[in-house]
Amino acid sequence: MTTVDVVIPVYNEEKALPGSIAQLRAFLATHIPHRWRIVIADNASLDRTPEVGRELAARFTDVDYLRLEQKGRGRALRTAWLASDADVLSYMDVDLSTNLAAFPPLIEAIVSGGYDLAIGSRLMPASRTTRSLKREVISRGYNMLIKLLFWNHFSDAQCGFKAITRQAAHQLVPLVQDQSWFFDTELLLRAEQYGYRIAEVPVEWIEDLDSRVKIVQTAIDDVRGLLRVRFGPSPPFKKP
């Protein structure tokens, strides 16, 4: 049977975590026909998130808790994915901003569609997105800049809703230098660079007004990352 890990990177999410895990468990039990596990990847939370995460892992056999002592969503995903033995590795944001209805198509694109990666996109014609004008402009501008620099095929680099085969993760993640928010973009750019197949799934997405993301600073860091990947040396790797 195919196995699926769903990683939830968290930082100071003591309030949101219990409800999100309950909602996610109920959805997966009903809509995912594979053996699944939720992994709470806590990247150096300073509130009660560690206590809450351990309580959830102790209560449910299908929930694990992973603690990292350094911040960084990319670091959390790197650690959780490379330590996993699941066939399909995925992640989503703890606020569940992306409607979970898009998760089964995301997984099936890999399990039965033959893709190496699958990503949620807020910028496809069939997608429905609710967010502030500032975030809309920054997101579209960022993805346009990626197109100008790389002529890539994917439309939305930063939607927190992705899946990847274990084999592709173990080959690509070590090539990704970023430990924070640029991790997603760098992973996708390396995947295209080395010929991996990427599926896009339209999503319904609603902005979380309590998000921990510092939008402007993250955008600046992402632009620096793009310039590094575009003009820096490529990792010495070829897809087997």
* Active site residue ranges: 184
| Measured distance CA(141)–CA(226) in Å, rounded | 13
Measured CA distances, 108 to 20, 25, 126, 177 (Å): 23, 18, 18, 29
Residue type, 5: D
Q: Which two tokens stand for residue 220?
A: 């600046």
> Where are the alpha helices (H) located in the chain, listed in sequence order?
16-31, 49-59, 73-82, 103-111, 133-150, 166-172, 183-193, 215-231
| Measured distance CA(161)–CA(126) in Å, rounded | 16
For residue 175, the SS3 value is helix
Cβ-in-10-Å burial (0-12, 13-18, 19+) of 126 comes to: exposed
